């Protein structure tokens, strides 16, 4: 079971924002007038190595370049929505509400770190990467047919700088010194001396570009809740919505980018519809009756026991697993360190002993999951064993700021439990830690501190699918004398409480990158801990801040591996999370009218991107009265 999340990504690709090295096979070097430096001109960017695709590539390897256009696909989303603005903290944005926007650069689903021109046909920058120039494609158009220009790119940058998420604004301001529109199709970003060489170009290249004219005409603000989506240039536009019920996007038949190599074989559906349901159980029943047509299954119980309905038995619904080459999402119980009760690391460690993954996996998940131990689980970046000599070189200067054991002990691993809901040995370990932290059991069986305060912990959740996981955990917490409660609340209240940090513990995700960079500051940095929507636990650690700076300064993949492992073992040592589980496969079910390439891209299932509609199969289902 995984926490259901719906992240809107322009052009439905996973953008992995990183920089590039100077590789002669894909770059052109030209002199910079009046300077000794040469300027690199390229169709893409990758800091650590050669771009996979040359400048004259015909299409991405994982797409079907001849995929037909047409048809529709429908998916589900949990809860409700009351806004169509994905860039505001106000309101709950509708699923895929950033779909109409594109960026100057875009990533692919089969490479780590590479970015290719989308709105921009090429970029140029000096060897010291002090600035970058983007050459925007003259044919780029917004969905109303108006030209997309450098002025729009600059305007959107200023929107995010002034009105974006506070944590993102802080990072953006540290990177960009100035922006200059050279002409209608050329924009230059000059970077600060402090800017990370790995972050600067992909950060500005990855910004969505919106219409300046639309914002000036409407008077809209970036950070506001509204039901109108700004004018974008993407392949899909909003077609309609019914509040808390459904959202429909339609493919723009005049989409300007259809002939590009980077988009060929993608954006194949005429319409994409999202149906909203209160919870996964209601959504599953709707899928069985054909109310929507494609489902990514996040419940191991349903996957193991519930797929026995007639449409599946008759072959009208396909159920399959597909490989997932990505990392685990970092799904975990996160503790709010802003609450005094979590100040003592012994309390946090004790809570980790009270979640029984092994029993949960066997009894609740039908053995489908593996345990998460690292923030970079299922990758070479995960810290293992004791720190290496290279890691110690980064960690030892921070010795007085690190949690105990980071320099000398094996990387923290999640406790192993037995085959009963309550593991007695782990319960004793947790009790000893709580006793040592000053939380003593009273006559009523509850733990109190020296001031007589009860150790009360509330876990909040908005999905009933987590009831069967959290309730046994709460029982174990109570067995240890903790006044634990589970409060399932509605999605709107959950959004409000989590954004305002009004919780003790939640289930959260920490999805890391295989080439992490400045985004780490939003998840783990002290400067934005009180305002970042990603740093749910509110971590503030000078040692973590320094280790993040080390990551930003690396010049090779081997250095990156060392620096990330040092950060990983340090984060794990703070014990602000109780890691949950992951599955290295995609579990999908869909009505038999969709096709996909034989080889799925390693880093993106891509069902909204490079899958396509089989009109003959769909018509057969309709002719038989199976689907409307």
Residues 412, 538 within the same domain:
yes
Closest by Cα among 445, 507, 453, 508 to 477: 445
DSSP symbols for 84-132: S-TT-SSS-BPTTTTTT-EESEEE-SS-SS-EEESSEEEEEEETT-SEE
Closest by Cα among 252, 226, 365 to 302: 365
| pLDDT the model gives residue 532 | 87
Closest by Cα among 158, 206, 507, 174 to 330: 507
Look at the block and give the residue holding tokens 């709460």: 474
Q: What is the mean pLDDT of each run of 10 residues along the chain (628 residues)?
A: 48 32 35 59 90 96 97 95 88 92 97 95 94 98 98 96 83 92 98 88 95 96 90 96 95 96 97 94 95 94 94 96 90 97 98 97 91 95 97 98 97 94 96 98 96 97 92 98 97 91 97 90 93 93 97 92 98 98 94 96 95 97 89
Residues 417, 445 within the same domain:
yes
Range of the domain at 113: 10-65+84-218
> CA 590, 368, 512, 230: dihedral to nearest 10 degrees?
20
DSSP symbols for 359-373: HHHHHTSTT--EE--
| pLDDT the model gives residue 37 | 66
Residues 382, 523 within the same domain:
yes
- As a whole number of angstroms, the distance between CA 234 and CA 142 comes to 8
Output b/e per residue, 67-87; b: 16+ Cβ within 10 A. Answer: beeebbbbbbbbbbbbbbbbb
DSSP symbols for 531-543: T-SS-TT----HH
DSSP label of 453: -
Tell me, yes or no, whether 628 lies in a domain.
Answer: no
Tell me, yes or no, whether 358 lies in a domain.
Answer: yes
- As a whole number of angstroms, the distance between CA 101 and CA 84 comes to 13
Cβ neighbours of residue 113 under 8 Å, at least 6 residues apart? Answer: 16, 18, 19, 20, 46, 47, 48, 49, 514, 515
Residues 547, 488 within the same domain:
yes
| pLDDT the model gives residue 4 | 54
| pLDDT the model gives residue 361 | 92
Tell me, yes or no, whether 227 lies in a domain.
Answer: no
Residues 244, 359 within the same domain:
no
Tokens of 248: 């429909």
CATH, residue 197: 3.40.190.10
- As a whole number of angstroms, the distance between CA 445 and CA 60 comes to 62
| pLDDT the model gives residue 91 | 83
Q: Decide: residue 143, CB within 10 A, 0-12 exposed, 13-18 middle, 19+ buried.
A: buried
Residues 534, 560 within the same domain:
yes
Tell me, yes or no, whether 231 lies in a domain.
Answer: no
Residues 199, 317 within the same domain:
no
Residues 459, 406 within the same domain:
yes
Q: Decide: residue 272, CB within 10 A, 0-12 exposed, 13-18 middle, 19+ buried.
A: buried
Looking at 525-595, which runs of residues are DSSP E strands? Answer: 577-579, 581-582, 585-591, 594-595
Domain end call among 185, 218, 251: 218
Tell me, yes or no, whether 264 lies in a domain.
Answer: yes
Domain end call among 192, 218, 244: 218
3-state secondary structure string, 302-351?
HHHHCCCCHHHHCCCEEEEEEECCCCCCCCEEEECCCCHHHCCHHHHHHH
Cβ neighbours of residue 593 under 8 Å, at least 6 residues apart? Answer: 71, 293, 613, 614, 615, 617, 618, 621
- As a whole number of angstroms, the distance between CA 269 and CA 590 comes to 15
DSSP label of 211: -
| pLDDT the model gives residue 518 | 85
What are the CA-CA distances from residue 76 to residues 244, 274, 278 (Å)?
12, 5, 10
Cβ neighbours of residue 171 under 8 Å, at least 6 residues apart? Answer: 203, 518, 521, 522, 528
Residues 484, 410 within the same domain:
yes
Tell me, yes or no, whether 200 lies in a domain.
Answer: yes
CATH, residue 551: 3.10.105.10
Residues 140, 245 within the same domain:
no
DSSP-based three-state secondary structure for 163: helix
- β-pair partners for 240: 248
Look at the block and give the residue holding tokens 């459904």: 246
HSE (side-chain half, CA atoms, 13 Å) at 591? 28
- β-pair partners for 460: 487
Residue 45, φ and ψ in degrees, nearest 5: -150, 135
Tell me, yes or no, whether 4 lies in a domain.
Answer: no
Domain end call among 190, 218, 246: 218
Tell me, yes or no, whether 77 lies in a domain.
Answer: no
Residues 545, 493 within the same domain:
yes
- As a whole number of angstroms, the distance between CA 209 and CA 232 comes to 7
Residues 394, 361 within the same domain:
yes
- As a whole number of angstroms, the distance between CA 572 and CA 494 comes to 26
3-state secondary structure string, 428-441?
HHHHHHHHHCCCEE
In the chain, the number of structural domains is 3
Tokens of 409: 């002990």
């Amino acid at each position: 079971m995984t926490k259901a999340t719906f992240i809107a990504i322009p052009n439905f690709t996973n953008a992995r924002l990183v920089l590039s090295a100077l590789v002669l096979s894909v770059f052109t070097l030209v002199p910079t007038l009046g300077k000794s430096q040469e300027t690199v001109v390229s169709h893409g960017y990758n800091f650590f190595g050669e771009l996979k695709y040359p400048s004259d590539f015909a299409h991405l390897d994982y797409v079907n370049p001849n995929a037909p256009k047409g048809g529709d696909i429908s998916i589900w989303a949990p809860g409700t929505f009351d806004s169509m603005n994905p860039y505001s903290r106000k309101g709950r944005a509708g699923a895929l509400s950033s779909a109409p926007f594109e960026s100057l650069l875009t990533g692919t689903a089969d490479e780590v770190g590479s970015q290719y021109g989308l709105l921009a046909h090429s970029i140029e920058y000096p060897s010291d990467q002090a600035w970058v120039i983007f050459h925007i494609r003259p044919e780029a158009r917004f969905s109303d047919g108006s030209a997309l220009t450098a002025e729009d790119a600059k305007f959107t940058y200023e929107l995010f700088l002034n009105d974006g998420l506070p944590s993102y604004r802080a990072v953006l301001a540290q990177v960009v010194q100035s922006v200059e529109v050279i002409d209608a199709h050329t924009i230059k970003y000059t970077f600060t001396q402090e800017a990370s060489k790995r972050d600067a170009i992909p950060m500005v290249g990855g910004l969505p570009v919106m219409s300046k004219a639309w914002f000036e005409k409407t008077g809209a603000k970036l950070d506001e809740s509204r039901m109108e989506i700004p004018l974008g240039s993407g392949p899909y536009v909003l077609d309609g919505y019914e509040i808390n019920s459904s959202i429909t996007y339609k493919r723009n038949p005049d989409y300007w980018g259809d002939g590009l190599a980077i988009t060929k074989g993608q954006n194949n559906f005429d319409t994409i519809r999202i149906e909203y349901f209160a919870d996964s159980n209601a959504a599953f029943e709707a899928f069985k009756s054909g109310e929507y047509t494609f489902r990514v299954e996040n419940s191991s119980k349903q996957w193991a026991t519930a797929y026995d309905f007639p449409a599946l038995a008759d072959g009208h619904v396909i159920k399959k697993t597909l490989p997932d080459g990505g990392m685990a999402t970092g799904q975990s119980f996160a503790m709010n360190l802003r609450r005094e009760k979590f100040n003592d690391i012994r309390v946090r460690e004790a809570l980790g002993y009270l979640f029984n993954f092994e029993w949960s996996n066997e009894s609740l998940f039908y053995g489908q999951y593996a345990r998460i131990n690292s923030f970079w689980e299922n990758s070479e970046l995960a810290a293992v064993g004791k720190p290496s000599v290279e890691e110690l070189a980064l960690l030892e200067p921070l010795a007085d700021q690190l949690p105990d054991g980071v320099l000398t002990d094996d990387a923290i691993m999640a406790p192993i439990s037995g085959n009963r809901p309550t593991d007695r040995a782990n319960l004793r370990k947790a009790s000893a830690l709580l006793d040592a932290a000053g939380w003593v059991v009273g006559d009523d069986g509850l733990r109190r501190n020296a001031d007589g305060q009860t150790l009360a912990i509330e876990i909040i959740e908005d999905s009933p699918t987590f009831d069967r996981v959290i309730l046994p955990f709460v029982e174990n917490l109570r067995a240890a004398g903790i006044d634990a409660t589970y409060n399932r609340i509605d999605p709107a209240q959950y959004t409000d409480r989590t954004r305002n940090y009004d919780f003790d513990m939640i289930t959260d995700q920490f999805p890391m990158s295989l080439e992490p960079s400045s985004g780490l500051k939003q998840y783990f940095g002290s400067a934005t801990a009180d305002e970042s929507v990603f740093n749910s636990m509110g971590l503030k650690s000078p040692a973590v801040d320094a280790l993040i700076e080390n990551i930003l300064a690396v010049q090779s993949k081997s250095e990156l591996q060392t620096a990330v492992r040092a950060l990983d073992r340090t984060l794990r040592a703070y014990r602000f999370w109780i890691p949950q589980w992951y599955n290295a496969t995609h579990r999908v079910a869909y009505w038999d009218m969709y096709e996909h390439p034989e080889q799925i891209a390693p880093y993106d299932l891509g069902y909204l991107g490079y899958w396509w509609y089989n009109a003959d199969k769909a018509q057969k289902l309709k002719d038989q009265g199976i689907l409307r």
